[in-house]
A and B are shown apart, each in its own frame.
Chain A
Amino acid sequence: MELLTIDSYPTKTYEGLRLRPGHPLPFGASVVHGGVNFSVYSRAATSCKLALFHRNDAEPFAMIPFFDEFCIGDVFAMIVYDIDIENVEYGYIMDGPNDARTGHRFDRTKVLLDPYAKIIVGRDTWSETQEGGQLRPYRSRVAPDDFDWQGDRPLETDINELIIYETHVRGFTRHASSGSKYPGTFTALREKIPYLLELGVNCVELMPVFEYDEFENWRTAPGGNGKLLNYWGYSTVGFFAPKAGLAASGRYGMQMDELKTLVRALHKNGLEIILDVVFNHTAEGNENGPYLSFRGIDNNVYYMLAPNKEHYYNFSGCGNTLNCNHPIVRNMILDCLRYWAAEYHIDGFRFDLASILGRNQDGAPMTNPPLLEELAYDAVLGKCKLIAEAWDAGGMYQVGSFPSWGRWAEWNGRYRDDIRRFLKGDPGLVWPVSQYIAGSPHMYDPAVRGNCASINFITCHDGFTLWDLYAYNSKQNMANGEENNDGSNDNHSWDCRCEKNGAYDEGATLHLRKRMIKNAFAFLLLSRGAPMLLAGDEFCNTQYGNNNAYCQDNEISWLDWKMLRQNRDIFEYVKRLIRLRRECACLKSGTPGGDRTSLGYSRISFHGERAWQADYSGHTLGVLYCCDEEYVYAGFNMHWEDHRMELPQLPWNRRWRVYESSWDESENGMEKSGGVLVKNRAAVILRGELQKTGADQE
């Protein structure tokens, strides 16, 4: 071995392996000259061993103790030389007190995952088991942090320009109709980039891609047909490792390269990537759950424990709660996000049940949670989007009040609920809806939170798809095996069933459903704030009324691309609205130039059946968006009767022209008197176009 520096030589030999004291930082396994630096934290462990395995072996070929001279502070650190990183897996064995009354649960019979493992093996191919149905134990692998980025860097798209498309990596392309060569993988998603470009979105938000266990709490589906798996993946096994089972190359251990290749390709095409990250709990569950890593490394540090120390606080609804504001855990979360931002070029993060990140170690909400503040000001994350799901399962609901430091945006759950109610025809919502369209300034003071604190959505992975929102009155979750008790009951959905002479009218029902879907897209894409679309809604994808498909790794969840052909009209409509939003500066969230245009028009103003007179008691709302060169008017009539809406007067050289209508295109409703007839439960969008002068006409 060539020695490059004076401290790159072994100082000890143990069972034929050459060792030396390691570097305590960074944590995890890092490739160094001639070997690998292993570093792991535990305050309460009395000893630690490194277990090394040949690839796929059940038994280790070496168990190397961290000798006293390899420990500094609470860190065990050693360099092991001559390791073939492609063919070696590793884990840690920690010893220490095991007394639930003190919160310590050390177990020296368990081989634990490295909390900083960059590759995790054990579920290399999605839902594959060993012979006899056994699951492989998880092991960590060492990975070099190299990639041929070809000059790529995060795009740093202005959040005011963002149009987010939320999807599940597997569900997006797993269905046979997707026609993918490697269905359900990062590679297949990459192959769909032309589709995303055609649609016009500029950001993909991926449901969890950190390693999770699809077999966690798996059970047989009702009727014995197949397995119910943890399909969504909101249960992290390893925070630094991409899920191998979502990579076509996972069985070769190349998931890092595959995901980075996806990121590079997205960026080349102007698409950002946001990851849905789950730091509120881990896959180890409660006191009856498995030992994967944290429980056996330092249970007291990593988890919020009840005062009796025996039980886990459960603010996540998933058995345990990560102790996010413990300094060690806080650092791990920071290290993790910095790693994804720096090594994977991720553009932003959406934090699942983010309110948990604002609880102290006793579970109480904090006024200035240090973790959230650190994330807001972190140097490496400085340009990353930070998006909170601003509630948790412990009763905290912070939509509108999430600590932000001017940096955090929020999934606006109130937008979703009120827009749904307005769409359905509920009364008393015109004023709040006008505020949502304006970027929700009634919730987010623009002076403090900017113009884009609100991530607007009407549907997301959690709940009905847009088609189902207008095809079902209530959830249809029997397939989840929980007697239809899971999933929200508060959906504000409506099956749109129409009758004629007492009989079901299929044609009218379908027409109404499609109108409602188009209306929803009109609200979403003409509201300030960043819109988020649920993948498949643009072609009426259905989950057959299942509003909580977390366990459905089958046709219920997978996007059925045949629907794209069948509902091309909806797809084309959504495309046109996205194009309008991207073209028209007046529709963007952060319109510069003060409150008024040079001709004195408000940048955004609200109207009713009479122009300039909004009627906040009804079901109709007209919105005029202006900047110096553009005028867009949207007339929303959520009433069950037609309404004539007077159009605001344009400058002399422009006239209104219908751009899109959720009713049939042939009936654009323009009236000579300067109004537009907006049919019942419909939206009409007009542009103020420059009139041809007499000379032009000749």
Chain B
Amino acid sequence: MEMEITREINNGVDVLTLSGPLDSNSAARANDEIIGKLKENGKLVLDMSGCGYVSSAGLRVILLVAKQSAVMKAKAAIAGLQSEVSDIMEMTGFASLLPKYETVEEALAALGE
């Protein structure tokens, strides 16, 4: 299954929706897309409610986004993590990289503060 990435701008914040597995097939594209938007706008929410699997390469994308946003003093957050993906992130130490919220709305509210 291919990953689909869609973009929406909500009150000046980029909301990127990742649908499908974030793995070695999609990691490079997702990375370029997310970092590109982060550079453009400086505020970004990753809606991962449609992403049921994150592989090792996928986790590294999230790590790079976290590192990049720290360097750029940008704000990024994750919304809607599925429980299995959340578990993988917890086991492998990637859970605390970016702030996580249940819904996009909550993430937007937090980023807007």
- Asked whether A and B interact, the reply is yes
| Chain A residues packing against B (C-beta within 8 Å) | 84-87, 146, 148, 182, 185-187, 247-249, 252-254, 257-258, 260-261, 264-265
Chain B residues numbered 27-75 whose CB sits less than 8 Å from any CB in chain A: 55-57, 59-60, 63, 67
Which residue of A86, A187, A264 has the most chain B CB atoms within 10 A of its CB atom? A86
Query: In the complex, what residues of B have CB within 8 A of residue A249's CB?
Result: 88, 91-92
A247 touches B91 (CB 8 A): yes
Q: What residues make up the interface of B, taking CB atoms closer than 8 Å to A?
A: 23-25, 55-57, 59-60, 63, 67, 87-88, 90-94
Question: What 8 pairs across the A-B complex have the smallest Cβ distances?
Answer: A261-B93, A257-B92, A86-B24, A249-B91, A248-B91, A187-B91, A254-B92, A258-B91
Q: Contact at A257–B55, with CB atoms within 8 Å? A: no
Tell me whether A253 and B56 are in contact (CB under 8 A): yes
- Alpha-carbon distance between A84 and B55 when the two chains are bound, in angstroms: 12
A85/B93 in contact, CB under 8 A: no
Seed contacts A186-B91, A258-B91; 11 additional CB < 8 Å A-B pairs: A87-B24, A146-B60, A182-B91, A247-B91, A248-B91, A249-B91, A252-B56, A257-B92, A258-B92, A258-B93, A261-B91
Q: Are B91 and A254 in contact (CB under 8 A)?
A: yes
Given contacts A146-B60, A148-B63, contact A86 B92 (CB under 8 A): no
Shortest CB-to-CB span from A244 to chain B, Å, is 12
| Complex Cα gap A187–B92 (Å) | 8
Closest A residue to B66 by CB, please name it: A148
Q: Which of B25, B88, B93, B94 is within 8 Å of A84, CB to CB?
A: B25
Question: Contact between A252 and B55 (Cβ–Cβ < 8 Å)?
Answer: yes
**Contact between B56 and A254, CB atoms less than 8 A apart:** yes
Chain A hits for B60, CB < 8 A: 146
Chain B residues in 8 Å Cβ range of A258: 91-93
Q: Is the CB of B56 within 8 A of A86?
A: yes
- Closest Cβ neighbor of A250 among chain B residues: B91
Contact check, A257 vs B56: say whether CB atoms are below 8 A apart: yes
Contacts of B59 in A (CB 8 A): 254, 257
Q: Are A257 and B93 in contact (CB under 8 A)?
A: yes
- A–B complex contacts, Cβ < 8 Å, 18 sampled: A84-B24, A86-B23, A86-B55, A146-B60, A148-B93, A182-B91, A186-B91, A249-B88, A252-B55, A252-B88, A254-B92, A257-B91, A257-B92, A258-B91, A258-B92, A260-B93, A261-B93, A265-B93
Using Cβ atoms and an 8 Å threshold, which residues of chain A touch B67? 148
Quote the shortest CB–CB distance from A322 to chain B (angstroms). Answer: 31
Q: How far is the CA of A86 from the CA of B61 in the complex (A)?
A: 14
B40 to chain A, nearest CB (A): 24
Q: Give chain B nearest CB distance to A193 CB in angstroms.
A: 13
